[in-house]
Every structure is written in C-alpha cells, then in structure tokens.
Amino acid sequence: MMLRFDPIRLPPECETLRREVRAFLAEEIAAGTFDPHRPGHGDSHNREFSRRVGARGWIGMTWPKRYGGHERSHLERYVVTEEFRVANAPVRLHFVADRQSGPILLKYAPEHIKLDILPRICRGELCFVIGMSEPGSGSDLFAAKTKATKVDGGWRINGTKTWTSNAHIADYMLGLFRTSPPTKENRRHGLTQFLVDMKSPGITVNPIIQMTGQHDFNEVVFEDVFVPDDHVLGEVDGAWKQATSELAYERSGPERFLETFYVLVELIRALGTDPDRRSAEGLGRLVAQLHTLRRMSVSVAGMLQAGKEPVVEGSIVKDLGTLWEQKLPHRVREIAAFLAPEAANRTSLEEQLAFAITVAPKLTIQGGTTEILRGIIARGLGLR
Amino acid sequence: MARESDHIVAETAARIFADLADPQTVNRAKDGTWRTPLWRALAEAGLALAWVPESLGGAGASMADGFEIVRTAGRYAVPVPLAETLAAGWLLTQAGIEAPAGAMSVAPASPEDRIGVGPDGTLNGRARRVPFAQEAGHFAVLAEGAQPLIALVHAGQCRLDEGRNLAGEPADAVSFDQVKPLKSAPAPARVDTTALMLMGSVIRAMQTAGALETVLSLSVAYANERVAFERPIGKFQAVQQNLARLAGETAAALAVAASAADTIAEAQAFDEAVRLESASAKIRCAEAATEGAAIAHQVFGAIGFTREHVLHRFTLRMLAWRDDFGNESWWAAELGRHIARRGADDFWPLVASR
C-alpha cells in the first residue's frame, strides 16, 4: 500500500474559531470552572460546562443541522478538540458522544431516535459510554458473551461489561451484545450493536478505582434489561461489518498524543529562557516529534473531511501518538534531572510528572492496544 | 498541497531512475558506465536544474515539483549529485546567477562551517562533508562578510580533501584559499547560512522519506516471500509488529518532510514557520532513518547484510544523510533553545500555528 500524508493546512475559518475557543476557555478558567495546570485534580466532567460548550455549537460540529449539528468541517472540529485537550478542560461528559457515539447513531439509528437523541448530545446534555470489554474479552471483542435474547417488542440483555469508563455518569451506552453464536466460517458473526438507556431497570453500575486513585472505570451488570427493537443499530448479528469505519475518527485525533502534553509546557517553564545544551537538545527532539504527530493527525483529519476512510493512517497516528505521550513524562523527568533546585515551578512540575507517569500505562491500552493497532497496520501492509 | 503537476514531474523522474539507475542494476555494475546516460537524461529532462528559472538556464519548475524530484530520487537511492545540483541551482537563483550545466554541489554543507568573503571579493574558508564535491564541476557558495555573497566557483579553484560517507559516496572537505568566484552577487537578506542549512535539511528529509518508502515495500515483499518454520515470516506476529513500526516511521518521515517542503514552497522568507518545520523534519527523519534501517535489516536477516543485496543502498544512504546540513542533535539543540527563548506560554500557539 501507498502511505500518504498530505500537508493539510487549517483554513482561515479555523483560526477565527481557535480565537473564540481560547477566549471561551480563558473565561471558564477565570471563573474557576477548572484549573488547566492541575490535571487529575477536580472533576474531569462537568454537566454545566458541557452545556455551555454545547451552547457555543462545539459539540456535534460536523453533523447535519437537522439533528442539532452545525455542518462544520472536521478541521474545525479538530481545532476545538485540540484547544480543549491542551487546556485540560473537563470534556469527559460529552466527548465520547461527540467523537464516536453520535457518528454511529447518525449512520445506523432509526430517524425518530436520531431526532430525539442527537440534538441533546449537541446541547451537551448526554453522556455516552462504550460497552465493549467484558471480564472474559477485551481486545478480542468478538469473544463477547453478554447476551441479548429476542422477546416480544425487543430484547433482554444479561451479562457483564467491564472497564466501562464513565458508566457512573452515563445516560446511554452503545453496547455490543451477542444475539447469535459465532459460525464456523465467521467467528465475528452473531454480535449486534444496541443503544441502551442507562436508566433501564436491571442495570447495576459498580465502581472500579484505577491505580491513579481516580474513578473512571466501572463494571456494568445487566439483569434482564429490556431494550426495545428500535434501539438495534444496524444489522442484527452483523456488528462486525460496522466496526471499522469509525476507527479512524476514534484513533487519529489530537487526544491521542496530547494527553500528557502539560508536562512539556511545564518543563519549558522550568528550563527558563537559556537552557544548557543537553536540555535544549532533549527539548528540541520532543518538539520535533510532537510537531510531526500533529502534522500527521491533521492530515488524517483532512482525509476524513474528504470523505476517505484512512483506517491504516489513523491507526499509525494512534500507535505513534500514544507511545509518545506515554514516554513523554519519562523523557521530561530525565531532562529535568539537573534542574536547579530553586527553579520556580519545580513543585508543580514534580506534581504533574507524578500524575502523568501514573496515567501513562493506560494510554497504549485504551481505544485499541498497541498490539491490536499494529495488527491493523500489518493487515493494511498486506501481511495478513 | 499536492497538485497534478507534481505527479507529472515526479513520474518523469521515476521513469528515468527506473530505466537508467535501477538500484539492482547499479548495485551489480562493475563500473560507472551507467552514470553518463543517467546524468544526460536528467539534464535533458530539466530535472537537475528544476529550481532554476528558464531565464537563468533552468527548467523553472515549482518548489513543490523540485521537492518531489528529490523524494523520488530517495526512493531509487539515486547515486549521482542530483539533489546537490538542485540545491546549488536554487542557491544561485537567489542571487540571479545563471546556472552552468553539469553537476554542482553547495558549500557550506555543515552549520558550523563558514566561508568568508574578503574585501577583494575572494573567498576563504573550509567546508567539511560537502556531498559529491569531487564529482562537481562547480560549487554554489554562500559566503559571509560585511556584504554576504552568493558565488559560483569553479571546482578546480578549490583544494579537496576527499572523503566518503557511510554509503561510500563522496563527502569531501573543500578549502577556499583566496578563491576568485566566476560570478558573485549579494545574497538577499533572507538567504543566510542558516537558510541554506534549512533548505539542505528539507532536501535530505525528503530523500530519507523516499528511501524509507522503498525500504518498507522491499521489507514487506520479502516478509511475504521468505519462508521459515513452514510459513512466510510475515505471518509471525513478531515480524508483523516490527513492520508496523517501520510503516509508522515511514509515515512520520513522509508527513513531516512533505509538510516542511510545502512550508518552504509557500513561504516568502525563512521565517519562524520554516525554521520549526524544517528543523523538525531533519530531526524526525533522522530518527526515522535510525529506527527504520534497524528494523529493515532485522527483517532481512543475513541476506540484507550483504554487498550483493540492494538494501544497504537505501539504509546506508539514509543513515549518512543524517549528518548533512546539521545532524539531528545539532538541530534539536537549536530548536530547543528557540522554544525556550519564546517561553512556555508561547509554545502551544507556535505548534498550533502549523
């Protein structure tokens, strides 16, 4: 295959938008909504904040106006995403719905559901979660066992999903459930994608505390949970056909290399205006690597805007990007090793490093592990 | 942005390389008889002086076209001073000096070297690692002084200490001792030694990206053919993971080099955007060369370590290119200092501006 990453430049309307977003974030920071310099402190979700973001028209930006969207470009959405990420803004409530649940609903949900739910996502009112992993299946998502059994007017779900981020604050789940056994010819057959109202009777959400001390993961137990027929998304038993095209959206965005970005900014602050040569060289390499990742990621956004499905390119961005953001706090720590003890922001750098280093292991696991991504890339290269 | 014309020029270049500089054929050749027809074809197609306007004796191609020629040359590991002649033609053009026919190179080729211009207009100084100097008929020189000059120098006027890079290509020290240029003209303010280094760096980045493209496709093809333990080695996950990493390094090199080339093509001056993009391209492409060469050799095993196999034509060249026009450590220190001077709060706005 030919790899192609054209040098896409953001058009002028993106820079106007960027100024608006920065002004909005500055106001929110000034009002005390969140502290951009203390990631990991305070809530990463905030219902009122998400509503204000929605009111500005920055959720569902690329979706049709008919569903509450704004018919803006993927490049404009890109600018909003990266500015929010860099500011450590609390977007957790609406981000999954904006990035991937909404696009799936747009493609597969019946019209009346789209008209009901999508405008509420755009207003920042709804939190979506992804119901894929189970106690017995993670990366191997086609091994899912949680069952949906056909009943009059709908389906009954029984089983357990796990590592479900945000389930404790979620309004809806897009879940993958087993509607038929796999066949001999196709082990991916038999799973169906459903929209599940998290307030449905029979759902229990149990918290799982992460090693950072944060609560993000949950176990979600389904006991005879009823889901109506019109909540089936796409083809019954055929979810595997629907899974691939969304991946590029999920995998190539700025959130796939900017998660620990704050430590780099803090390092620059600590080094001051005249760093020694060793520090300058270490910093320069990180800058070159970051610039490269961003140019790749913007290029993929350009391909999405052009209606392409850059699955391999998107996977490459996430593979390189997540490894980079995972290694970043460790590289910053090495560069900062010989900092003067009296460097002004030493304490905040150390605090941020402690948090980033603790978060780092998850970055190459969530949303498709390094190993899975490389399998996808290898397939694209014609190796499997 | 890629335009249709890029493809036409690059396709012409690719056709000439495939016909007259096929890496396999060149690798097997006992002598250099392939050289003359190759250079003649490149000159006739206007590729060597692509960046020189017609009024100064060149082909008047766009900057984007020229960079595509360079990337294509990388894809074929072209072993003649095409990139160097392109760079020299570009430099002469900046001062409106007509370009001669034949191979050229540029001096200096290292950011720590300086050629000075004396009050009598003669050139003095020493430029190390000048690529293909011993094959060049002329040098395009950027000389510093009270009035910086761009000069065309006859190669015979200079003393050469011959050297070779990792790939065995000429990389010579060129000494200028009261050398009187054939022609010279004041360098415009925007073209200084740093600008020449940035230009050279992006040329090397594009060549590296092209070489990596070929290294990737050769490696994938070999992994699909070579059988071990009763299956093609490309069926083993460990090998697949390595090749996926190689694809990632290739993608990174392609993206950052193309972005820098596009930036130079669109820029009016060697401004901050060009500096960020070009330095990043040199740094990241050098890193990709290091990683990519190691992975490719691992995939090929012993056969890839032989003189007979073409792999080294690509891997050794891209490793050698790391050292031209400022190596990645030098540029990283420069870039790091620049970022530090701007300060923490200006960092993200700079990254986001590109």
Contact between chains at A283 and B2 (C-beta distance less than 8 A)? no
Contact between chains at B252 and A382 (C-beta distance less than 8 A)? no
- pLDDT, tens only, B244-300: 999 999 999 999 999 999 999 999 999 999 999 999 999 999 999 999 999 999 999
Residues B287 and B303 in one domain: yes
- Tell me what pLDDT residue A340 has: 84
pLDDT greater than 80 at residue B4? no
Domain holding B181: CATH number?
2.40.110.10
Residues B202 and B292 in one domain: yes
Looking at CATH, the fold of the domain delimited by A247-381 is given as Butyryl-CoA Dehydrogenase, subunit A; domain 3 (1.20.140)
Pinpoint the alpha helices (H) of chain B. Answer: 4-20, 23-28, 35-44, 63-75, 82-94, 193-225, 237-266, 272-300, 311-321, 328-342, 347-352
For chain B, positions 313-342, list CB contacts with chain A under 8 A: 328-329, 331-337, 339-341
- Tell me what pLDDT residue A44 has: 83
Beta bridge partners of B172: B130
pLDDT greater than 60 at residue B214? yes
- Whether B126 is covered by a domain: the verdict is yes
CATH code of A12-126, in short, is 1.10.540.10
- Tell me what pLDDT residue B6 has: 56
Residues B231 and B303 in one domain: yes
ipTM for the predicted complex comes to: 0.97
Beta bridge partners of B227: B232
- Tell me what pLDDT residue A243 has: 65
Q: Chain A contact for B354, CB < 8 A?
A: yes
In eight-state DSSP terms, residue B97 is P
Mutate to test the interface with A, among B283, B322, B331, B350 (most CBs of A within 10 A): B283
pLDDT (average), residues B212-239 = 97
Mutate to test the interface with A, among B1, B347, B350, B353 (most CBs of A within 10 A): B347
- Tell me what pLDDT residue B113 has: 97
SS3 of residue A259 by DSSP: coil
Q: Chain A contact for B284, CB < 8 A?
A: yes
- Whether B41 is covered by a domain: the verdict is yes
Nearest residue, CB atoms, A287 vs list B223, B280, B287: B280
Amino acid at A370: T
- Whether B269 is covered by a domain: the verdict is yes
Residues B181 and B197 in one domain: no
Q: Chain A contact for B272, CB < 8 A?
A: no
Q: Which tokens go with B50?
A: 């692509």
- Whether B89 is covered by a domain: the verdict is no
- pLDDT, tens only, B175-206: 999 999 999 999 999 999 999 999 999 999 99
- Tell me what pLDDT residue A240 has: 85
- Whether B257 is covered by a domain: the verdict is yes
Nearest residue, CB atoms, B223 vs list A373, A375, A383: A383
pLDDT (average), residues B312-322 = 98
Report the alpha-carbon distance of residue A81 to residue A182 in Å, rounded: 38
How many structural domains does chain B have? Answer: 3
For chain B, positions 190-219, list CB contacts with chain A under 8 A: 213, 216
Contact between chains at B258 and A282 (C-beta distance less than 8 A)? no
Residues B207 and B144 in one domain: no
Residues B69 and B184 in one domain: no
Residues B170 and B205 in one domain: no
Chain A nearest CA to B266, separation (Å): 11
- Tell me what pLDDT residue A252 has: 87
Domain boundary among B78, B113, B145: B78
Structural domain for B300, as ranges = 193-352
Contact between chains at A296 and B251 (C-beta distance less than 8 A)? yes
Regions of chain A short of the pLDDT cut 50: none
Report the alpha-carbon distance of residue A43 to residue A194 in Å, rounded: 29
Nearest in space to B255 (alpha carbons), one of B182, B205, B188: B205
Domain holding B348: CATH number?
1.20.140.10
Residues B72 and B198 in one domain: no
Contact between chains at B240 and A291 (C-beta distance less than 8 A)? no
Q: Chain A contact for B279, CB < 8 A?
A: yes
Contact between chains at A281 and B333 (C-beta distance less than 8 A)? yes
Beta bridge partners of A134: A137
Residues B123 and B228 in one domain: no
- Tell me what pLDDT residue B2 has: 45
In eight-state DSSP terms, residue A182 is P
- pLDDT, tens only, B140-167: 999 999 889 999 999 999 999 999 999 9
- pLDDT, tens only, B297-310: 999 999 999 999 99
What is Dmax (Cα atoms) for chain B? Answer: 74
Nearest residue, CB atoms, A299 vs list B255, B329, B344: B255
Q: Chain A contact for B245, CB < 8 A?
A: yes
Higher pLDDT: A39 or B75? It is B75
Contact between chains at A374 and B244 (C-beta distance less than 8 A)? yes
For B112-140, letters b (16+ CB in 10 Å) and e give ebbbebeeeebbbbbbbbbbbbbbbebbb
- Whether B178 is covered by a domain: the verdict is yes
Q: Which tokens go with B5?
A: 């014309």
- Whether B331 is covered by a domain: the verdict is yes
- Whether B156 is covered by a domain: the verdict is yes
Residues B7 and B119 in one domain: no
Contact between chains at B255 and A5 (C-beta distance less than 8 A)? yes
- Domain residue ranges in chain A: 12-126, 130-237, 247-381
Residues B22 and B72 in one domain: yes
Q: Which tokens go with A258?
A: 């900017």
Chain B nearest CA to A78, separation (Å): 11
Residues B152 and B43 in one domain: no
Region at A128 (left for phi over 0; alpha for psi -120 to 50; beta for the rest): beta
Q: How many CB atoms lie within 10 A of CB A184?
A: 6
SS3 of residue B185 by DSSP: strand
CATH code of A130-237, in short, is 2.40.110.10
